[in-house]
Amino acid sequence: MAAVSLLPVIGKPAPDFTLPSTSGEAVSLKQFKGKKTVVLYFYPKDETPGCTKEACGFRDLTADFDKVNTIILGVSNDPIDSHAKFREKHKLPFDLLADEDATVSKAFGVYKQKNLYGKKYLGIERTTFIIDRTGRIAQIYPKVKVEGHVQEVLDFLRED
């Protein structure tokens, strides 16, 4: 199994990346620097109950995130065609990014050994990062429990 990578540190620059997105354009973290706060949420898999609930939670509060000048980006290891179907089906107004080789997930320390019904495998541990306009990590929510999470992120941004 791969060595465990650590989460980035609050206050330090977020690892930059460029990934294919459901907009059809590649998305880089640096394109938002100086412009918007970024909620970068990593989730295990399209169309699973928890991931769907989390994505729809962000969808339902998108207007509130817009008011605090924040963009939402979802990342998983699923391919872009899976993301496109997931985004369309649930009418998600934000981009989903395809990290198929897990390079970005590893850079953010969220690609970990998981255990499902006694079977070990590598995958994304649900984690959300708030990256401020300077490109630094403002907050990290590791091992996210979906219930109430989106509101918690929004509340943090409103206090900022």
Q: CB of 94 within 8 A of CB of 60? A: no
Reading the block at residue 134, the tokens are 């300077």
pTM: 0.93
- Report the CATH superfamily, name and number, of domain 31-159: Glutaredoxin (3.40.30.10)
**Mean local confidence (pLDDT), 14-38:** 95
* Rounded average pLDDT over 46-72: 95
List active site positions.
Answer: 51
Question: Each residue of 61-77: pLDDT tens digit?
Answer: 999 999 999 999 999 99
pLDDT band at 119 (very low <50, low <70, confident <90, very high): confident
- List C-alpha distances in Å: 37 to 34, 123, 147, 155, 160: 8, 26, 23, 14, 11
- Tell me the pLDDT of the chain averaged across its residues: 93
